[in-house]
Amino acid sequence: MSRPLPLRTTSRLWFALACLFAMSPAHSVTDVPYEIEVVKSKRMLLVKNGVKVEKSFRVSSGRGGRGDKQKTGDHKTPVGIYRIVQLKDSETFHVFMQLNYPNAKDAFWGLKDHRIDRRQFDAIVQASYAGVVPPQNTPLGGSIGIHGLGAQSADRLGKHMKVDWTDGCIALTNEQMEELRRYISVGTRVVITE
């Protein structure tokens, strides 16, 4: 009769499984030459083609400060590897490029820390595997993306240049969003670091 695995080993197995789903064939996008890198502490978004930086933009991110997004309302920008899963024009933000937040990594930690249940975990992991918008109504939050400013005023542009003001998204000016749009498609990889 075999003994159950210790909790630490079980957690490592779940994390490995979540990572395996995150790297599934649905995410093996070979026809997207560009990748986005966001460095929150430097307030920079880099458009990269391999190791070459094609463009860089100054950005604002979540007003919740340092750290990874964990729940609705923490106003933090997530840290990790994401994909663009939807591109749309927006009256509020000019353009909205939705990320696949929460992804399998976020679901793993949410389940481990009892912020979500097993059913929610399974739904998020399934969406990650399929490369579609994950459930947006869990306690982990949702509607995280890269967007513009919408109606731009001198005050709004000034605030954007000085402080991180979003609810967890990454914001650029409308003009920068139009430029960024030339490099982005559904499936583009977005790496967000502290």
Q: pLDDT value at position 175? A: 96
Tell me the mean pLDDT in the region 95-110: 97
E runs forming strands in 40-184: 44-49, 52-58, 80-90, 94-99, 145-147, 170-171
Q: What is the largest CA-CA distance in the chain?
A: 71
Q: pLDDT value at position 84? A: 97
Single-letter amino acid code for the residue at 169: C
Which own/partner contact pairs does 122-126 have at CB distance under 8 Å and 24+ positions apart?
A: 125/18, 125/21
Single-letter amino acid code for the residue at 177: M
Q: pLDDT value at position 9? A: 47
Q: pLDDT value at position 21? A: 47
Write out pLDDT tens, residues 9-57. 455 555 555 554 444 444 444 466 899 999 999 999 999 999 999 999 9
Task: Give the strand pairing for 35-39 and 44-49.
Answer: antiparallel
Cα dist from 101 to 24, 55, 179, whole Å:
16, 24, 23
Write out pLDDT tens, residues 104-162. 999 999 999 999 999 999 999 999 999 999 999 999 999 999 999 998 889 989 999 99
pLDDT value at 5 more than 50: no
Residue ranges per structural domain of the chain: 7-193
Tell me the fold of 7-193. L,D-transpeptidase catalytic domain-like (2.40.440)
- Lowest mean pLDDT segment, chosen from 20-24, 72-76, 98-102, 183-187: 20-24
Q: pLDDT value at position 61? A: 97
